[in-house]
Amino acid sequence: MTRISIPEFDDAPAASKPILDAFNRQFGFTPNIFRVLSLSPRALAGWAGLQNALAKTLDSETRDGIALAVSQTNSCLYCLSAYTTCARNVSKLDPEEVSRNRQGTSSDPKRYAALNFAKKVVETSGKLTETDLDTVRQAGFTDANIVEIIALSAQCLLTNLINNVFETPIDFPVAPPQPASA
């Protein structure tokens, strides 16, 4: 049961409607998370602006993997369901890789470093060690890439928090249960 009234498109604030319309065209429907965000046109525009800018960073498999690792860390079933769908349909990740990504790992060594780093950023509220930074740099990520990994993590964290607070109804195929990583 949701803890917030989720507006239909016609009931959303006028300033949110162009962004909601764009999401509707992209997904073929307007996901509930965006309808919740639409209650604050500024929050929706801020999230969408960050999304648009970060969509040009790293590669889609790494971006999806970061979203899966962060969402698993925050136990956000809504985001896990949405990002699993995207990872499978857009990035073409197989179920085993999706499962690894949720744990902050990957079969690809460079992606492994990025996902593990993102997971640690969230788990420690950014209080990482020099070794953590050295590890992600040694995997081939520049300092600019590290800022992008942190930004992608923060973007995902925002939707995790909103969905967890409001218990947003899941409108994607529900991600299979998976225990939290150790």
Q: Evaluate whether residue 4 is within a structural domain.
A: no
Return the number of other C-beta atoms located less than 10 Å from residue 129's C-beta: 10
Domain housing 50: 14-54
90 and 136 fall within a common domain: yes
The Cα-based distances of 1 to 75, 76, 80, 166 in angstroms read 17, 15, 18, 9
Helix axes 17-27, 41-54, angle to 10 degrees: 50
Q: Are residues 102 and 23 in the same domain?
A: no
Whether 156 and 74 share a structural domain: yes
pLDDT in tens, the chain (182 residues): 789 999 999 999 999 999 999 999 999 999 999 999 999 999 999 999 999 999 999 999 999 999 999 999 999 999 999 999 999 988 899 999 999 999 999 999 999 999 999 999 999 999 999 999 999 999 999 999 999 999 999 999 999 999 999 999 999 999 988 876 55
Q: What is the CATH number of the domain that holds 149?
A: 1.20.1290.10
Are 113 and 46 members of one domain?
no
Task: Kindly list the distances between the CA atom of residue 137 and the CA atoms of 17, 19, 54, 78, 109, in Å, as whole numbers in the listed order.
Answer: 41, 36, 19, 32, 12
Is-contact 115 150, C-beta < 8 A? no
Give the model's pLDDT for residue 139.
98
> What is residue 181's predicted lDDT score, i.e. its pLDDT?
58
Write the CB contacts of 119 (distance below 8 Å, at least 6 apart in sequence): 69, 70, 73, 104, 181
pTM: 0.94
Please list, residue by residue across 45-78, b when 16 or more beta carbons sit within 10 angstroms of its beta carbon and e when fewer do: bebbeeeeebeeebeebbbbbbbbbbbbbbebbb
Domain match, 68 and 28 both: no
Do 35 and 99 fall into the same domain? Answer: no
